[in-house]
Structure 1
Amino acid sequence: MSTILAFDFGEVRIGVATGSTEIGIATPVETIAFEENDKKFARIEALIKEWQPSLLVVGLPCYLDGTEHDMTRMARRFANRLNGRFSLPVHLVDERLSSAAASSALNETGLKGRKQKTALDQVAAMQILQTYFDTPPV
């Protein structure tokens, strides 16, 4: 059994989720919302120390047709920085529609509109990690 941390990368906020390979269910952890990269990575370091993951998962945003855009490149750079700083393997997961799915899930709980802002990114990270768990390896 090992723990995995997943990230929904954004320029302003980074959603974080965790899950265990034993049960394969993702749960939201928090949203990191610092402007300075040093503070973001300090918080990520603290989460890595707390959760002791064996793998990190980062959502890879693309257009619906699969082509890459600026955020795709930024997410790849973020994944590379995680690997370089923490010496943990990083797996990229297609995150197309994860934010829409997260918003829909929050709507179902009664959290709508602007009230979703604090939870949306961590629930999107949860969706990304659940996709990782649900997708058989190739």
Structure 2
Amino acid sequence: MTSAIVPLETFLDLPAHARLLGLDLGTKTIGLALSDLERQIATPLETIQRVKFGLDAAALLKIAAKHQVAGLVIGLPLNMDGTEGPRVQSTRAFVRNLAPLTDLPIVFWDERMSTLAVTRTLLDADASRAKRAAVVDKMAAAYILQGALDRLGRLAFTETDEDGMND
């Protein structure tokens, strides 16, 4: 078993009606979101409390198997100027260690502003600090996954349009 880090376009070749799992990797938690079977809508799923890599990976892969996930979309926390900092290095290390444990293809997705956008949405909804803390990671994962799903949808449309199938 060894998964590969692939470009998003590769996900167009995944089996139909297979879900994707979005991840927001934090230092204390991993937020998870799940796509619908048509890969159009991301829904917050749950948050894994991080313990140590082996346990975190096992929990993650168990959830992926339970939901028959076909691929992983992992948020890449780039700096605002697009450079890579320590959090990106940590995310890449997590994925390097996860890859030998699964055959699932993995895509990195720019997650800049995801937590901020989700926090603002929760503040606008007048969610308490405790409520925000409980849901922000899985909502950030949904935000990340939704961005990837939207891009996949545009890629699929472009691909079918070029084939003359969308006239």
What is the TM-score of this pair, normalised by structure 1?
0.91
Q: Secondary structure at the match of 1:8?
A: strand
CA-atom RMSD, angstroms?
1.7
AA aligned to 1:70 is P
Residue from 129, 133, 153 that aligns with 1:117: 133
Report the counterpart of residue 119 of structure 2 in structure 1. 103
Report the counterpart of residue 41 of structure 2 in structure 1. 25
Kept in 1, the 8 Å contact 2:24–2:75? The answer is: yes
Percent of matched pairs sharing the same residue: 32
Q: Secondary structure at the match of 2:20?
A: strand
Q: In 2, Cα distance between the equivalents of 1:56 and 1:30? A: 15
Instruction: Judge which range, 24-33 or 13-22, deviates more.
Output: 13-22
Kept in 1, the 8 Å contact 2:29–2:50? The answer is: yes
Identify unmatched segments of 5+ residues in structure 2. 1-16, 159-167
Q: In 1, Cα distance between the equivalents of 2:27 and 2:138? A: 14
Q: In 1, Cα distance between the equivalents of 2:64 and 2:93? A: 19
1:127: how far off? 0.3
Rg comparison, structure with higher value: 2
Count of residues in correspondence between the two structures: 138
AA aligned to 2:139 is V
Moved over 3 A (4+): none
1:22: how far off? 1.1
Superposed, 1:1-16 pairs within 5 Å as: 1-16=17-32
What is the TM-score of this pair, normalised by structure 2?
0.76
